[in-house]
Amino acid sequence: MEHSLWSHLPLLVRSNSKESVEYILQTLWRTRKTGLDAADRDIIREMLQLENETDLDPLLVCLRMLIRKCVYENVSKDEIQKLFPGEVLPELQRLLVLLLQKFQREWRAEALNDQVTLPRLKAMTWNMANQNAESTDPVAVINLKLQDDTHSLSGESEVKFQLAKDALDTMLKSMYYIRDQLSDMGDGLNGHCQPQETSMT
């Protein structure tokens, strides 16, 4: 986080109450997907007694970064304290640490619910064939078998599509690269994402 952003944190002192700072943090979390609308921005600007929005956006960016670190990186109370450089007033640090810690568990639970469960790739096969006698560029017919782990019975589906050979080569290189990058994370891609060539004609 750039130090230029920290210089806007003292604007929170203008709110003159812990409840106002708490409201601002809760509003930022509530609007994490949509961003603040005009009404929210007006309310926060009035709380901070700001005549214009010039200083508002850098402050909001700084607070959103703090929220993201606390929620998605699950930092401890001591680690939250270490996020602030010495230039931030001690009383302001204590207030923000207190509020961030207060909402951390609740916000983390909500963040987990935000996550979209993607289908898991069970198998991939392809057939290489010329579409017709006049075609000189072979086409790959890709068949993907996906498993949606959120469904216990009917969560399996198949997807088929065609790719030109050069596009297939590019896709495979990308898949192998991604697999190699994720192999250390133990996500099982080594077993599930191995392309298998079933036939060539």
Q: Residues 103-112: pLDDT tens digits? A: 998 998 888 8
Structural tokens at position 117: 């469960």
pLDDT at 200: 40
| pLDDT tens digits, one per residue of 5-38 | 678 888 888 887 899 999 999 999 999 888 889 8
| pLDDT tens digits, one per residue of 66-86 | 998 888 887 887 788 888 877
Rounded to the nearest 5 degrees, what angle is found at the Cα of 128, between the Cα atoms of 125 and 129? 140
Domain positions in the chain are 3-114, 120-200
pTM comes to 0.56
Structural tokens at position 118: 């993607």
Q: Quickly count: other Cβ atoms within 10 Å of residue 150's Cβ.
A: 9
